Amino acid sequence: MGMDIRRAYGALDMPPAKYITFYALPLVAAGIAVVVLLGMLVPGLFEGPFALLYVVIPFFFLIVAVIYPYTVAESRKQQIDHNIHFFITHMGVLATSQIPRSEIMRMLSEKKEYGALAIETKKIYALVDSWNMSLAEACRFVSKRTPSEIFGDFLDRFAYSLDSGEALESFLTNEQIVVMEEFSAIYKGNLYELENMKGLFNSMMMSLIFIVIFAILMPVITGIDATVLMAGALFMVGFIEVVFVFFTRAKAPSDPIWHDLKVETSVRIAVRRALPWSMAGCVVALLLALNFTNLPVPIIVAIGLTPLVYTGMRVGREEERVKRREDSYAAFMRSLGASASARGGAIKEVLRHLQNHDFGPLTEDIRHLYQRVNMRVDDERAWAYFAADCGSNLIEKYTRMFVEGLKAGGKPDAIGRLISDNFVRILVLRKARYQTASAFRGLLYGLIAGMAFSLFVGVSIVGMLQRIFQGLELPKGAGDADFVSSLFSFEANIPLISFLVMSLLLVHAMSSSLMIKAADGGNYFRAYTDFVGLFWVAAIVSSVANSALTAVL
């Protein structure tokens, strides 16, 4: 399992004896009850080879009871590992204010956005506050039970520094490098898994293309109706595509580009309004293509989907602005922290001067921030709107740390430098992620072109053979005429098969676009652009293949 039993059961937040008594044993008993109930309702079910179900069903429930603690622990481990970079930065920011260590743990334990990390920190604070443990003892106690090795090692080092009397700010300054390197290794490992999955997906789709082509050609070989086979193949491909979408989301780093604040911004309103217009445009484009053109069906469908690009491009343009704001944010934080320290913490005066500097797309947001701060209504709310307008998850998280650090009395220059350094480290990892996603996009575009060509070539060959065999006249009176006639006669509904193939390509384009967005961490509304682009590639390739084969055959 990769995790010892103590850490696995520690993630359940209950004694092992309680879990076994109130959860594991009742679950196994439920498995036995299922067998007894089925035996009473369907007596013949457990006869012959199915007699093994007497053992298999209870054993399955037993396996679930055994592995459940490990699944919970693994889920918490991922939450901790994916948020550890925010946690260590936040802790370093608060340490510059010289507030008590236990108070820092209390403040961090109240940050619900850290998920399992907040829960683990709350355990430490509870041991100190309610059980009168020293902070070092509490850290060692939790380090032995936390599911994350990174966090456990950090707590052990933290406990040693507390016993040795090392200054907290000095310790956390050094820990920034250690923890960020460990987080970087996890991030790069996730990207490596995405690279491996890219090859796995390519191989799987090649195999599925062979199966679908075989289903198309089955009427020629056996005389079986291809419609049922194609429907089954379409279901199988769709199921595997959905599995790979969820697999990509699970393996990709948990590092979204956009924040999830519940603040209404002009960008969010524009995106929400763009989708209805795109949907209406799809209806109009499809009606025009059907009534005023004589194009192939795949091209008509692609034309009907094209207005979705408006929403995708609108979101894509804003997403690129978010990335450019992130590129300027580290410099802004360094300048803000250094200038505020030189001016004795006068943030408003620093912003008044910084708004005249060029920070790229971030400049306009800085000017709006100064205007809100200058109103002297609510500084924290002004910073919250600044983060919301920027649209970036990273900017939102680090801005909140900066404001909280200043409120706690921290050193502006140290806070700005710490945030800037860690922000740049994450941006470097983001660049590698974008490159991986770009390579993934190129593979999927090439893959759908190959799929469209292969599948429609198969459909065209079946149609050609059907026309040839229907026009074939066998000599009458031959003894084996009926037998030969049965070999050269088959039924294939070519329009229906073509429709099913086009539906398969539509499903593949949709799932591929979602996989691209899961890989790069962007907004899923931007997937509309790739969805339309992928299907246009499939539509053009299929139409060209049909025209070429019609001319040749």
Cα 76 to Cα 79: distance, rounded to the nearest angstrom: 5
The pLDDT value recorded for residue 424 is 95
The pLDDT of residue 474 is above 70: no
Residue 398 belongs to a domain = no
The pLDDT value recorded for residue 468 is 65
**Which residue has better confidence, 269 or 11?**
269
The pLDDT of residue 382 is above 70: yes
Average pLDDT in the 47-65 region? 81
Q: HSE (CB half, 13 Å, CA atoms) of 6?
A: 7
From 98, 131, 166, the end of a domain falls on 166
The pLDDT of residue 283 is above 50: yes
CB 463 within 8 Å of CB 553:
no
Tokens for 361?
Answer: 């797309």
The pLDDT value recorded for residue 176 is 93
162 and 193 inside one domain: no
15 and 74 inside one domain: yes
Residue 356: which H helix or E strand, with range?
A: none
The pLDDT of residue 263 is above 90: no
The domain in which residue 488 lies consists of 187-255+290-297+432-552
Residue 542 belongs to a domain = yes
The pLDDT of residue 2 is above 60: no
**Residues in contact with 196: Cβ distance below 8 Å, sequence separation at least 6, in sequence order:** none
Average pLDDT in the 400-425 region? 93
Tell which residue, 78, 61, 73, 105, has the closest CA to residue 5.
73
Of 30-44, 339-353, 409-423, the least confident: 30-44
Residue 281 belongs to a domain = no
User: How many structural domains comprise the chain?
Assistant: 2
Residue 361 — φ and ψ, nearest 5°?
A: -65, -15
Tokens for 176?
Answer: 């920034």
64 and 205 inside one domain: no
Cα 337 to Cα 347: distance, rounded to the nearest angstrom: 9
Average pLDDT in the 42-69 region? 80
CB 425 within 8 Å of CB 180:
yes
20 and 154 inside one domain: yes
Of 126-135, 192-201, 414-423, 461-470, the least confident: 461-470
The pLDDT value recorded for residue 8 is 78
Residue 140 belongs to a domain = yes
From 133, 166, 199, the end of a domain falls on 166
The pLDDT value recorded for residue 469 is 63
161 and 16 inside one domain: yes
Of 45-59, 72-86, 91-105, 506-520, the least confident: 45-59
Residue 523 belongs to a domain = yes
538 and 459 inside one domain: yes
Taking the CA atoms of residue 326, residue 268, residue 113 and residue 76 in that order, the dihedral angle to the nearest 10 degrees is: -90
The pLDDT of residue 209 is above 80: yes
pLDDT tens track for 137-153:
999 999 988 999 999 99
The pLDDT of residue 97 is above 80: yes
Which residue is it, tokens 């040749």? 552
148 and 200 inside one domain: no
**Which residue has better confidence, 505 or 230?**
505
Residue 40 belongs to a domain = yes
Residue 318 belongs to a domain = no
pLDDT tens track for 160-174:
999 999 999 999 999
Cα 416 to Cα 267: distance, rounded to the nearest angstrom: 28
The pLDDT value recorded for residue 261 is 85
From 136, 166, 196, the end of a domain falls on 166
The pLDDT of residue 1 is above 80: no
143 and 17 inside one domain: yes
Residue 302 belongs to a domain = no
The pLDDT value recorded for residue 258 is 92
The pLDDT of residue 481 is above 90: no
The pLDDT of residue 422 is above 50: yes
**Which residue has better confidence, 66 or 462?**
66
Beta partners for 258?
392
480 and 448 inside one domain: yes
The pLDDT of residue 45 is above 80: no
> How far lies 176's CA from each of 79, 84, 426, in Å?
19, 10, 12
The pLDDT of residue 470 is above 80: no
**Which residue has better confidence, 223 or 43?**
43
The pLDDT value recorded for residue 547 is 82
62 and 160 inside one domain: yes
The secondary structure of residue 43, as a DSSP letter, is G
127 and 202 inside one domain: no
The pLDDT of residue 10 is above 50: yes
The pLDDT value recorded for residue 231 is 79
Mean predicted lDDT score pLDDT of the chain: 87
The pLDDT value recorded for residue 214 is 79
pLDDT tens track for 286-337:
999 998 878 888 999 999 999 999 999 999 999 999 999 999 999 999 999 9
70 and 143 inside one domain: yes
Taking the CA atoms of residue 336, residue 339, residue 340 and residue 342 in that order, the dihedral angle to the nearest 10 degrees is: 160
**Residues in contact with 233: Cβ distance below 8 Å, sequence separation at least 6, in sequence order:** 208, 211, 212, 215, 504
Q: Ramachandran region of residue 382, left (φ > 0), alpha (ψ -120 to 50) or beta?
A: alpha
Average pLDDT in the 497-513 region? 90
